A = this chain, B = another copy of it.
């Protein structure tokens, strides 16, 4: 998700924005963490629901990946006909399918997948629909203005909650348009703009979800959303499904993140309680 040095570009860019004025020599990556620590509720929040929506794509070796190569293989260890039961071994890159980005994915010492606070994993969900804009511009970046428009219609973004981008891209998951590669090998799909990322941090949002392969738009050169968001102790979720089946506000997202020690993310089961 990066080339060497790209985090420096983002850190300089963040510094120029003046968010961290007065923090002196502290690196901007660390400064983001200091300036906008995520809320840490002692317990996950309660809610009521009458139905469950599965926000998870089914995953197989053919699932599209950011790097363009398969990231899952399955080897049969035991088979029913021969052994009386079936069992397999997976070889799996953590960032495959509907999957978590843990803070440590883009930081030196952030929380791993097993260490994310339980209070961050069952939280209110806001869904921001940018399908029309993304349909006309596959490089569309969801902006702070999109979030403010959402707030005008739905009330404040949920502090301690998750904001999901519904770009319509989940519909393309079985086609080449999901990665949407140009003649030069560059990808074109929507993502979160840095302005929106910073606005969500100011509002105390803890989770960022996208229906594409990356929190940043496909053509990003600096991974600005990743570098601002994850080192601050927040989580991301990529390749989310079925956001059309969830209301703009009022649902609760249940983040079935893998509780694997040292993991930088990993395949997850996501549900929305509506």
A residues sitting closer than 8 Å to B (CB atoms) are 1-7, 43-44, 46-52, 54, 56-60, 72, 74, 77, 80-95, 97-98, 104-108, 114, 118, 121-122, 223, 226, 254-269, 271, 273
Contact = CB atoms under 8 A, between A and B. Distances in A.
A47 to B, nearest CB: 7
B106 A60 contact: no
B84 A5 contact: yes
A228 to B, nearest CB: 14
B268 A254 contact: no
A215 B16 CA distance: 58
Contacts of A52: 43-44, 118, 121-122
17 contacts: A44-B51, A44-B52, A52-B121, A59-B259, A81-B108, A84-B106, A86-B104, A89-B91, A90-B263, A90-B266, A91-B92, A254-B256, A254-B271, A257-B269, A258-B267, A258-B269, A260-B267
A1 B59 contact: no
B83 A2 contact: yes
Nearest first, the 5 A-B pairs at minimum CB distance are A256-B256, A44-B52, A256-B269, A46-B50, A2-B84
A254 to B, nearest CB: 5
B77 A87 contact: no
Given A58-B259, A92-B89, A108-B81, A269 B269 contact: yes
